[in-house]
Amino acid sequence: MALSLNTRAKTIANITRLKPVYNFGRSFLGLDKCNACIGTSLCRKFFKEEIRFENWLSAGLKLPPSNKKMYFANYTADTVSWKPVVISRLQSKYQNELSDRKICISASKKVTCSIENVLRGTERFQKWLTADRLTAELVQSLPSPLLRCPSQRLLDRIVRRYAEVRDSGSVLMRQFSDRDKLRLLYTLSVNTHPIVLQVLFLRVTAGF
C-alpha cells in the first residue's frame, strides 16, 4: 500500500517523548510486501518515533486498527517541535488483496502466491534489471493514464522522486537495488497515486 502524510494544524511544541511499549510489526506498514515504501524515508520515521499516532500521547501505546484508511498522528523533524498530521492509506486493504489475487491468477498460480516471485519471472522485469534509465519502452502497455504517452522528462522525474533526491540528482537507476526496481514497477503497475503525489505535489509519501 501507499501512504500520504498531510499537515492538519499548527505546530505543537515540546510533546513529551514516551518510552515505547508497542510492537511495531512489519505487516502494519506493508513492509512484508514487495511494493513497500515507494518513497524510502517515511517508514523509518515510524520506527524512530518521529511519527507517532495520536493515541501514543496517552498512556496506552497500541497500534490502531490496520483496516482503517485514515489516522491522526503527530510528526517531527527535530524531536522538539511536532505537527499534527493526517496519515491516509491510498488503497484499502481489500483493493490491495484484489491486486495481489489478479497478479497470482494471471501467472496461473493459486489465489495467494509470492507477488515478488511472479513479478521477477516476467519478461518486463528482466528488462528492468538491465536498464540504467527508465524509458517509455519499459512502461509500455501499463494501465495507468500517467504512463499512456510519457515524456522522458516525466520518467526521469519519477526516478528522482522515487529515490527522494533533488531534481538536480541522477536520472539513472544504477543506484537502485533489484528490489527497488521491483517496488517501482509494482507501484507503476497497480497504483500510481503515490507517484503522482511525489511528482506533482511534492508531498511525503511512502509504502504503507
pLDDT confidence tier of residue 5, bands split at 50, 70 and 90: low
> Does the structure show a pLDDT above 50 at 191?
yes
Summary mean pLDDT of the chain: 75
Can you give the pLDDT at residue 205?
41
* Residues whose CB falls within 8 Å of the CB of residue 15, separated by 6 or more in sequence, listed in order: 52, 57, 74, 76, 82
pTM greater than the 0.85 cutoff:
no
Among the residue ranges 27-31, 70-74, 94-98, the one predicted with the least confidence is: 27-31
How many residues can be counted in the chain?
208
Residues 41-89: tens digit of each pLDDT: 577 777 777 888 776 555 455 667 777 778 888 888 887 788 888 877 7
Can you give the pLDDT at residue 139?
95
Can you give the pLDDT at residue 126?
94
Can you give the pLDDT at residue 156?
92
pLDDT confidence tier of residue 7, bands split at 50, 70 and 90: low
Can you give the pLDDT at residue 132?
93
Take residue 128 and report the three cell numbers written for it: 528492468
C-alpha 35/C-alpha 14 separation (Å) is 35
* Residues whose CB falls within 8 Å of the CB of residue 95, separated by 6 or more in sequence, listed in order: 191
Give the residue extent of every domain in the chain. Answer: 2-89, 92-121, 132-190
> Does the structure show a pLDDT above 80 at 35?
no
Residues 152-182: tens digit of each pLDDT: 999 998 998 887 765 556 788 988 888 889 8
Could you tell me how far CA 16 lies from the centroid of its own chain? 29
> Does the structure show a pLDDT above 80 at 197?
no
Could you give the percent of the chain with pLDDT greater than 90? 14
Can you give the pLDDT at residue 60?
54
